[in-house]
Amino acid sequence: MIETKGLVKTIGDKMILRGINLSIKKGETVAILGPNGAGKSTVLKILGGLIKASSGEVKVNGLDLKKDSYDVKRKIGFLAHNSFLYDHLTPLENLKFFGKLYGVENVEERAKQLIDEVGLSFFTHDPVRSFSRGMMQRIAIARAIIHQPEILLFDEPHTGLDQQAIKLLNDVILRMRDEGSTILMVTHDFQQAIETCDRFIIIKNGKIVDDLQNVERNIDTITEKYMEQVSGL
């Protein structure tokens, strides 16, 4: 479903990614772990088409990200640090705007259903600039999935969320997983990673240093493997 070959990213004279080869099957839930500055977000941004790789290729369902960028992007939902929401618009207006961009049918109905799902029906008509970070993130989650993407890319989605919003986000992730979506999540939070993911890729200095599949989803196992790779223990 997602294949990358030799992804390299340089910015100025800094080498951020040093040849990332990934092969992710449909329906996999993958956590991308690694120390600060390892290149995790950069991988995600390239997959989401937000930035371009310096060299290497990305294929999604056999489509080339560079050549078929429009078709590939329609399959992807991206949840980043930046909510991409328009401050002066209400949740309903924001979701209708993004839904229309993706050509979502019955967009008003779908937007209202999502606002309800993320627990913000009461605030449907308030501009999002008055929202707390947690409320913004709930609407950002709704925005990321409005077009029912087959692939979800999440960049540290749990950061800054309260327990209730974490549960809501995990419920969304698990539901999308049950529906067959493919999920890649950059995170520092091992607990959330094991609650939602089956595979754990560790990136260090712009390279994949471990790819844990079929491991016990247990915080001690993941922490131990991580420490082996990251601290060289």
Ligand X SMILES: Nc1ncnc2c1ncn2[C@@H]1O[C@H](COP(=O)(O)OP(=O)(O)OP(=O)(O)O)[C@@H](O)[C@H]1O
**Residue ranges in contact with ligand X by CB under 6 A:** 11, 14, 16, 34, 36-42
Cβ neighbors of 146 (< 8 A, separation 6 or more) are 77, 95, 98, 99, 102, 104, 107, 110, 111, 114
Closer to ligand X by CB, 112 or 188: give it.
188
Helices (H), the chain: 40-47, 69-74, 91-101, 107-117, 133-145, 163-178, 190-196, 219-230
Min. distance of Cβ 11 from ligand X in angstroms? 4
Min. distance of Cβ 44 from ligand X in angstroms? 8
Min. distance of Cβ 89 from ligand X in angstroms? 28
Q: Which residue has the tokens 């999002």?
A: 128
**Amino acid at residue number 176:** M
Min. distance of Cβ 104 from ligand X in angstroms? 30
Closer to ligand X by CB, 38 or 183: give it.
38
Structure tokens at 94: 């924001």
Closer to ligand X by CB, 111 or 152: give it.
152
Distances (CA, A) of 55 to 67, 183, 192, 204: 14, 24, 32, 19
Closer to ligand X by CB, 38 or 53: give it.
38
Closer to ligand X by CB, 117 or 189: give it.
189
- CA neighbor of 168 nearest in space, from 157, 156, 152, 178: 157
Torsion of CA 34, 219, 144, 63, to 10 degrees: 60
Min. distance of Cβ 43 from ligand X in angstroms? 7
